[in-house]
Structure 1
Amino acid sequence: MVSTLATVLNQRLGDGIRESKIESALNESQSKLFQTENRFILAEITSVADFRDAIDRTITEFADTRGNERNPEVAILQANSSAAVFYLYERATNQIAKESIPADLRAKVQATKEMQYTYGKIVYTSTYLTPIAIERKVPALIVGGNFTIENFGKFELYFLYSTAPEDSTISLISRTLFIGAIALVLVLLFIVWAASRQVITPIRGAAEIAEKLSAGDFAERMQVEGADESARLALSFHEMASALQSQITRLENLSRVQQRFVSDVSHELRTPLTTLKMASDLIYRQRHDFDPTISRSAELLSAQLERFENLLTELLEVSRFDAGVVNLEPEVVDVVSLVEKSLDALTPIAQEHGSTFHYKHPSDPVLTVVDPRRMDRILRNLLSNAIAYGEGNRIEVEVRTGEKSIAIAVRDFGIGLRQGEETRVFDRFWRADPSRERTRGGTGLGLSIAQEDALLHGGVIEATGRYGKGSLFVLTIPRDRSEELTERLFTLTL
């Protein structure tokens, strides 16, 4: 836009200078033509010699020209003369060539009494120093008119005004506008840069602070300068960061108290539970000696104490995860055999629910380094979950191996998962039945602990499902626990 404005302004100024030049040249030429015509009228011309003398005196008066506006070059030509050479009564100042007068301008001058003009070039010729004529051409505004001399006929008078000064002025204006346009663009760029910096710098600072806040660094604050919108933004960030820090600190303290409470209660209950379990086992072994009512009570007591013991075990395991004191005990194991052992252990429970296992695996052993106890716990949790929610349908278990990973899939055809429950199943104490009925048992910690065990091995458990169509759980672990898990061997679709 600046370039367009500069171009238009340069064009308007140039046109103005040229129009002023034309108007001035026409007025000046008209005046000089009138003076020249009067000089010939008032001169006492009685012979050809007198006429030639009058022409010479007229040209001599114009001979001091320098090619400027007030003193143009002058040429007196006879009407209808050729354009090549000067005739007997034709004269010109400063040895300008007759070809300096364009033929089309001569035709216009001869056709009307009005002053005519055009742009052309003053052609200077010189033969003083060399035998070859040297031409010098100067751009000019050429103005012409005609007059009549009694007894000698019609003549043409031309004034050749050099346009070099105007061209120089226009060139100077063009350069000035060009430099001014560049300077203006630079100033505008500086203003935009300064304004952008004033606006963007606080925003960039806010973004950096926001990133640090999201990373958990609540000690960072924005600098407050002035009382503008940026300062208000900084103050708002300060208040937000302080509120977040206070809330997170409160939640962390609450979480620590909760974890400590769970850990302490779990440990404190372990000792009396052990005593109760020993007494319950003794009664359970002697239940056949009691009457049926007491025998049934002994069975219920043993079952509930076993369930209570499992709950304490899971709570203690969760507290270890929270405290960060969990360690792996890796061994080289055959994953195929490990899965078979878990299936054998849970087959009776599956049969009680009417389910059967269908196991598919590679024919060769699949050796890898894992913690067998934790891997068995993962498998038992996945299989128990499939049994509990499988609705007595078959349960498919498959082992696949890849170049960098091993995957175990457990597929049931029972209740399935609603949309959005694929991730919630790994939350602690989350249960699929909103009413929290205990008909299917469980504490809501099994899958959460299984996911923690998988993460310890560098792996992950992923789930998918459709309500009424069943669910699919896939455990994927890397062959080398030091490498990032990038390979997936099962597609999570049903």
Structure 2
Amino acid sequence: MTRSTTRRELPLAAVRRLPRAALGFWRRSLRTRVVTAIVVLCALVVGSVGWMVTRQIADGLVSSRVDGSLAEARTETAIVRERLGPAGSNDFDPETQLRLLVETLVARGDAKGFEVVVQGPVGDGASPSGVRTTPQVDAASVPASLRRTVEDGEKGLAWTYTRIRYAAPDSGSGTPASQPGVAVGSTVVLPADGGSYALYYLFPMGEEQQTLALLRQVLLVAGLVLLLLVAGVALLVTRQVITPVRLARRVAERIASGRLEERMQVTGEDDIARLATSFNQMAEALQSQIRKLVELSRVQRTFVSDVSHELRTPLTTVRMAGDVLHDAREGFDPVAARAAELLQAELDRFENLLADLLEISRFDAGAAVLDLEDANLGDVARRVVAATAPMAAAREVRVQVLDDGVFMAESDVRRVERIVRNLVTNAIDHADPSGVVVRLASDEETTALTVRDHGVGLQPGQSGMVFNRFWRADPARARTTGGTGLGLAIALEDARLHGGWLQAWGTPGGGAQFRLTLPRRAGEPVTHSPLPLVPDDLRVAARRVPQPATTPPGGGAA
């Protein structure tokens, strides 16, 4: 791709992102939605009122103009008939008499503001001699419907709306000018030839049109100004309401980040002030409770640490005595010998529990640190499998590492080996005779290890609970491997200390799989895993049966 093509694509990408950004801003901004809703509703109201006012004024102007036009036409027709009545047929020839009639009407029209069209004679058997009009007025301004009505000889006046056209073009436009008007028609009898002539009065409505245009312009400007004022008022009102809400959100975010001393500023005695007061009271109560919980947690961690350390001395003494009894058990009677063996086994379990409690107390106190070095997880997995071989043989469970190769990760070997040992021993404890499978994989960013068993599996919702301290899927089930109940909890803390994931997946009757994902370089974020969390043989079945616990307890996506 050339540089010019890239430059052309950048504006296109920005344009494509614009609707999504606008939609996101619309969803996030309460003020924008409120102001927009108010302005739109006001625009509908103002538009409806303006349309109604314009319509009423327009109807009033048109009705007034029509009434005035009819009255004017009636008066002019009466004057014409009055003047033509005394004239005899021999006074003038028809052409002269018609010319004088037209000139008189045109002169009166120029004075009173109307146009004249005279056509005739009209009626049955008459031969029209032509049309005479006010200069520059097009005779086509008289609608054909009005012509038919007048020529049919109906009594009285007939009228209709029309558009008055002029023969003279508009300045520079080259097209005939026109304007709306009212056309009124009637007939008179010319004494010179006894024929009926049609008189058409064209009353322009240009002033009314200008008045309506000015009215629309005034209403439009007034409406826009009103909408701007409404938008300003809405912004002011929403600012007074939303600003305290935003302040409360910011204070809540600061409290959530650990700044428990943050409080809202209380001003006035209105509802917002009472809300701020209630919010501060809630923050005080939360701070007090959190302080109590923190102090209680600190006391508990101190207690566990102190007790663990204090138990070491008596445990050492009891261990020495137990070792003496266990070594001399062959000289005891069978009951005493069995008691010595049970004492030795429980001392081993108690010593492991004490070591785990000390490790948990280090995690709780934030004192755990990493001793980093480049390690091959394949070697770690094979060492763990070899160390747990007697346990697997006792339970008749086969444990195998399927993948050979180098799977490097910068890690604390001791802690990683403890994670793998906890996962493998847990899998042996719950596996069926089909065995336990350990798989490894790595890419440029992460290294992963999975431990798969085909035992009873996990019920829905238990995948996130297996890492809880002292949790067991079946509380009535005895620990056959002497576990303390803290192994997976310590393993999860070790994984988190490396910045990695430790995740669990299981299905009833289909077994379980645990996945450890570590960054290839310490400190780099883990965003994916080279191995799937759901086993390949059960991935299709897992899609059919919803599993709620696919989110890793240590963070990240499954």
Which band: TM-score by shorter chain? 0.7 to 0.9
Task: Find the counterpart in structure 2 of residue 309 from structure 1.
Answer: 351
> How far apart are residue 62 of structure 1 and its match?
7.0
2:176 and 2:427 map into 1 onto residues whose CA distance is: 108
Deviations 1:212-251 (A, max 9, x none): 4443443344455566655554444334333322222221
Tell me the residue number matched to 1:146.
187
Q: Is the CA contact (8 Å cut-off) linking 2:159 and 2:185 kept in structure 1? A: yes
**Deviation sequence 1:54-92 (CA, Å, 0-9, x none):** 98599569736556xx55345666534857565xxxxx7
Of 427-436 and 228-237, deviating more is 228-237
* Deviation, structure 1 residue 165: 1.4
Q: 1:273 to 1:11 in 2, by over 3 A?
A: same
Partner of 1:407: 448
2:94–2:190 Cα contact (<8 Å) kept: no
- What is the letter of the counterpart of residue 403 of structure 1? E
The answer to whether 1:21 aligns with 2:65 is: yes
Bigger radius of gyration, 1 or 2? 1
Structure 1 residues 47 and 346, CA gap change in structure 2 (3 angstroms)? closer
Secondary structure of the 2:371 match is coil
**What residue number does 2:10 align with?**
none
The 1-side partners of 2:438 and 2:143 are apart by: 106
SS in 2 for 1:112: coil
**Structure 2 residue aligned with 1:130:** none
Measured in 1, the distance between the counterparts of 2:179 and 2:330 equals 136
Secondary structure of the 1:143 match is strand
Give the alignment's Cα RMSD to 1 decimal: 3.7
2:251 and 2:445 map into 1 onto residues whose CA distance is: 39
Partner of 1:359: 401
Deviation at 1:256, TM superposition (A): 0.8
CA contact (8 A) 1:26 1:143 kept: yes
Cα distance change on mapping 1:290 and 1:7 into 2, 3 Å: same
Q: Which amino acid aligns with 1:271?
A: T
SS of equivalent residue, structure 1 residue 421 = coil
Contact in 1 for aligned 2:407/2:440 (Cα 8 Å): no
After superposition, the Cα gap between the structure-2 partners of 1:157 and 1:256, relative to the gap in structure 1 and judged at 3 Å, is same
| Partner residue in 2 for 1:102 | 142
TM-score, length of structure 2 as denominator length:
0.74
8 Å contact from structure 1 (residues 332, 368) kept in 2 = yes
Residue 271 of structure 1 pairs with residue 309 of structure 2 = no
Pick from 524, 529, 532 the counterpart of residue 487 of structure 1: 529
* Structure 2 residue aligned with 1:250: 292
Report what 1:333 is aligned to: 375
| Residue 259 (structure 1) aligned to one of 297, 301, 311 | 301
2:347, 2:496 → 1: CA distance? 31
Distance 1:136 1:318, change over 3 A: closer
- Which deviates the most, 167-176 or 37-46? 37-46
Is 2:380 the partner of 1:380? no
Within 2, Cα distance between the matches of 1:223 and 1:83? Answer: 95
Q: Measure the CA separation in 2 of the matches of 1:171 and 1:334.
A: 87
1:32 aligns with 2:76: yes
| Cα-to-partner distance string for 1:341-375 (whole Å, 9 max, x where unaligned) | 2122221122223323223221x343433222112
Q: Which runs of 5+ in 1 are unaligned?
A: 87-91, 127-133
Give distance in 1, aligned partners of 2:113 and 2:496.
100
- Tell me the equivalent position of 1:237: 279
Q: 1:366 to 1:96 in 2, by over 3 A?
A: closer
Contact 1:427 1:448 in 2 (8 A): yes
- Decide whether the 8 Å contact of 1:416 with 1:469 is kept in 2: yes
CA contact (8 A) 1:122 1:140 kept: no
How much has 1:253 moved relative to structure 2?
1.2
Letter in 1 for 2:447: I
1:170 to 212, 228, 235: 212
Report how far residue 336 of structure 1 moved. Answer: 2.0
Unmatched segments (≥5 aa) in structure 2? 1-43, 170-174, 539-558
* Maintained 8 Å contact 1:120/1:140: yes
In 2, the alpha carbon distance for the partners of 1:97 and 1:123 equals 5
What amino acid sits opposite 2:219 in the alignment? Answer: L
What is the aligned counterpart of 1:398 among 439, 448, 452?
A: 439
